[in-house]
């Protein structure tokens, strides 16, 4: 009986993990659409998709949820400020620099 309960508990937890992963993927996808627009409008001349990936990868779960919410409620100046603040973090600046270098060298940066 205890083994059965343990198995049921493990299955329930794995179901929660799958649901959490799906929710995270949806939130990240929504946030990416918002960040793409902010990058396109505020950082002209940069490759939007890789810069967006750098920003999303550096954002916290809470920031991703806030930004994703703008895909429904509309992008506000607070949303733009949040995205641009994340873009100024050292790890994002480094990521963007690496992306830019890779695009200049055809991916053979060093």
Structure-model confidence comparison of residues 24 and 58, the more confident one: 58
Return the pLDDT at 21. 65
What global pTM score does this model have? 0.76
Q: Domains of the chain: which residue ranges?
A: 24-105
Return the pLDDT at 43. 85
Residue 84 has φ and ψ, to the nearest 5°, of -65, -35
pLDDT greater than 50 at residue 91: yes
Mean pLDDT of 45-70: 94
SS (H, E, C) 63-89: HHHHHHHHHHHCCCHHHHHHHHHHHCC
pLDDT greater than 70 at residue 73: yes
Of the candidates 86, 80, 82, the residue with the CA atom closest to the CA atom of residue 57: 86
What is the share, in percent, of the chain residues with pLDDT greater than 90? 58
């Amino acid at each position: 009986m205890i083994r059965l309960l343990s198995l049921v508990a493990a299955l329930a937890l794995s179901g929660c993990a799958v649901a959490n992963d799906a929710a995270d993927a949806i939130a990240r996808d929504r946030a990416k659409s918002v960040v793409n627009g902010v990058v396109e409008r505020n950082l002209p001349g940069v490759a939007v998709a890789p810069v967006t990936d750098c920003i999303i990868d550096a954002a916290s779960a809470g920031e991703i949820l806030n930004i994703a919410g703008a895909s429904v409620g509309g992008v506000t100046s607070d949303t733009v400020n949040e995205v641009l603040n994340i873009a100024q973090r050292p790890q994002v600046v480094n990521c963007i620099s690496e992306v830019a270098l890779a695009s200049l060298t055809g991916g053979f940066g060093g």
